[in-house]
Structure 1
Amino acid sequence: MPGGGSAIRGSRVGAGPMGEAERGDTAPRQRVVFFCANGHETATVFAVEAAVPEAWDCPRCGLPTSTDVNNPPPPTKIEPYKTHLAYVKERRSESEAAEILEEALEKLRARRARGEVIF
């Protein structure tokens, strides 16, 4: 045999016959189709007893999906990345920021005068 092939390729030692008779019966299933705003269809299989989610993520484009082919959910609004400074500016006005800065500078100057900070 070329390449040293084996007659039991794809199986491991000790593996028995595979099939429903050995593993038991499968649970009853249902096929649910989800639709996204880009027109992609995603078929997913759930157990009959399982609660089917209202929304699912499209594996092709990542948009949210629903089971209503005529009314898929709109794309979610993606907010741009905010810096720490942007969040601070949302909480503080310019005058509050100036007061806080002046307070911090007074404390620093006092520490320098006492010799605690050298620079």
Structure 2
Amino acid sequence: MASGGHAIRGSRVGAGPLGETERGEAAPRVRVSYWCANGHETAPSFSVGEDVEAPEQWDCPRCGFPAGQDRARPPSPVRNEPYKTHLAYVKERRSDADGAALLEEALEALRVRRGGVPR
């Protein structure tokens, strides 16, 4: 290969990162363990500082459940509510008697509009 300044520079395999001396020292870090309901442990590292605190919960990278710092009592998984139709929401707000009264009122209005005799 020609040495016109375009040669790829490298080092031996396993030599580690280059340029550490130019970048300075890394900030102090602390590892915090989190456990999810499935027993998975994850230990992300956080910067150490006066105004920096590790979060109470962390998402488990294996299953996605929330993970907490107490191994004996991990947070419970979030329960997703199934999709509800418009009718399901209406049934939550109205009783069967209310529904029957509203239906009768709507049918009566329809009969009057069509020229029928009201009951």
Equivalent AA in structure 1 for residue 30 of structure 2 = Q
Q: What's the offset of the Cα at 1:24?
A: 5.5
> What's the counterpart of residue 41 of structure 1?
41
Aligned to 2:13: none
Give, in whole Å, the separation in 1 of the partners of 2:40 and 2:87: 39
Percent sequence identity over aligned pairs:
63
Aligned AA for 1:93?
Answer: S
Change in Cα spacing, 1:24 to 1:108, as seen in structure 2 (3 Å) is farther
Report the TM-score, using the length of structure 2 for normalisation. Answer: 0.63
Instruction: Give ranges in structure 2 of 5+ residues lacking alignment.
Output: 10-17
Distance 1:29 1:111 in 2: 76
Q: CA deviation at 1:19?
A: 3.9
Cα offset, 1:99, TM superposition: 2.1
Q: Once the 2 structures are TM-superposed, how far is the Cα of residue 92 of structure 1 from its aligned partner?
A: 0.3
Deviation at 1:109, TM superposition (A): 4.3
Please report the TM-score for the alignment, with normalisation by the length of structure 1: 0.63
Give the Å deviation of 1:57: 1.4
Please state how far the C-alpha of 1:42 moved relative to its aligned partner: 0.8
Partners of 1:7 and 1:86 in 2: CA distance: 69
1:20 deviation in Å? 5.2
Q: How many residues align?
A: 101
Residue 35 (structure 1) shift: 0.7
Counterpart pick for 1:85 among 84, 87, 104: 87
Structure 1 residue 68, shift from structure 2 partner: 1.6
Aligned-pair CA distance for 1:72: 1.9
Whichever residue aligns with residue 43 of structure 2, its letter is A
Residues 1:8 and 2:4 aligned together = no
- Higher helix proportion (structure 1 or 2): 1
Give the C-alpha shift of residue 31 in structure 1. Answer: 1.2
Q: Within 5 Å, give how 1:1-119 maps onto structure 2.
A: 7-8=7-8, 19=19, 23=23, 25-49=25-49, 50-113=52-115
Letter paired with 1:8:
I
